[in-house]
Amino acid sequence: MTTVRREAFGRMPPEEGGGEVEKFVLQSDSVRVEILSFGCIITTLETKDRNGQFSDVVLGFDTLEGYTRKHPFFGAVVGRVANRIANGRFTLDGKEYQLYLNNGPNSLHGGAKGFDKVLWSPQVLPNGVRFFRLSPDGEEGYPGDLKVWVTYTLSGRELAINYQAQTSKTTPISLTNHAYFNLAGQGSHDVYDHEISIEADSYLPVDDTKIPTGEVAAVQGTGFDLRQPVELGKHLQKFHLDGFDHNFCLHQGQDRRLVARVFHPPTGRTMEVHTTQPGIQFYTGNNLDGSLKGKGAATYPKHSAFCLETQNWPDAINKPHFPNVLLRPGEEYNHTTWLVFNTA
């Protein structure tokens, strides 16, 4: 049985329209998750360790103010296009579009005010919550009125996130959730003792601004071969890596498939990621620097969390050989990601 509760979380600042932000608490016997109507943000996700003790395993803030200020997309749904678009530019049906540059020379996670920074309209479901918003034609430079639904449902140990969208004009779209996880519990110092595996035979090398070069490279014989579980800290040392911030290319297809697994031996917590998406961005919190005050006054230093963002490949709009990122009128964008929490 999943229970769903809604409560007030805060009000938007007057300059942002002053709307009420609600929090939705989804609870099963093994997982408890809190989600805001602002940015569809997962603020809390509690799971059991092998002794049955609950801990919150996602980074975030105690108050709305933390989320309305600048932060690295903790727990949020990002869009219209997740990840980076080179030079914030693309051409569609002969017309060039210029987006806001918010990541060096590139546009990242939707631009200046992406889906993570707006209020969504909530609808309570028997086992979850569905959020809706209309992204108007021209918002952040993107074409078309885009209707978007993000649905969170909790069933036992499994949290499902479904993304649906329809558009009035052809537009690129790639939605994901940007939760930062630490299976030792949020506020723990690093994720070096986590064991991770990703079911990917290839990955995308990037330039020094994190834009894919266009090459689809085999992981075989490289530090990107995570097909067998590796202990993260030792693996980064062995391959002299500063961390990961790369897209791993998943086996294509519309069916649900297991794409990543994380195990934390000290607590026994495991997390599996299943998805219908063509890619997964593995990010190890390289830009966290301890300057943000998180939940319970925790600080979040470098490598104190990891993200597994299921999505289309970065800059696919400018790379014709990457999976199709365009949604056309009359079509429906529909992807689901499932997070399954267990103990071993």
What residues are annotated to the active site?
178, 309
Is 300 one of the annotated binding-site residues? no
Look at strands 202-203 and 217-218 and give their pairing.
Answer: antiparallel
Is 69 one of the annotated binding-site residues? no
Is 200 one of the annotated binding-site residues? no
Locate 113 and state its tokens. Answer: 């005010």
The angle subtended at Cα 14 by Cα 8 and Cα 16, nearest 5°, is 85
Query: Exposure of 6 by Cβ count < 10 A (0-12 exposed, 13-18 middle, 19+ buried)?
Result: middle
Distance CA 260, CA 339 (A): 10
Is 245 one of the annotated binding-site residues? yes
Is 157 one of the annotated binding-site residues? no
Is 83 one of the annotated binding-site residues? yes
164 alpha carbon, distance to own chain's centre: 15
Phi, psi of 211 (to 5 degrees): -90, 130
User: Of the candidates 333, 338, 334, 335, which has an alpha carbon nearest to the alpha carbon of residue 308?
Assistant: 338
Distance CA 205, CA 218 (A): 10
Dihedral of alpha carbons 103, 205, 58, 240, sign = negative
Residue 273, by phi and psi: left (phi above 0), alpha (psi -120 to 50) or beta?
beta
Distance CA 180, CA 78 (A): 13
Sheet holding 54-56, edge to edge: 3-11, 20-27, 31-36, 42-48, 54-56
Distance CA 337, CA 257 (A): 9
**Residues 6+ away with beta carbon under 8 Å from 265:** 193, 195
DSSP string, 189-204: S--TT-EEEE--SEE-
User: Of the candidates 190, 186, 213, which has an alpha carbon nearest to the alpha carbon of residue 86?
Assistant: 213
Which of the 8 DSSP states describes residue 318?
Answer: G
Binding residues for beta-D-galactose: 83-84, 178-180, 245
Known binding positions: 83-84, 178-180, 245
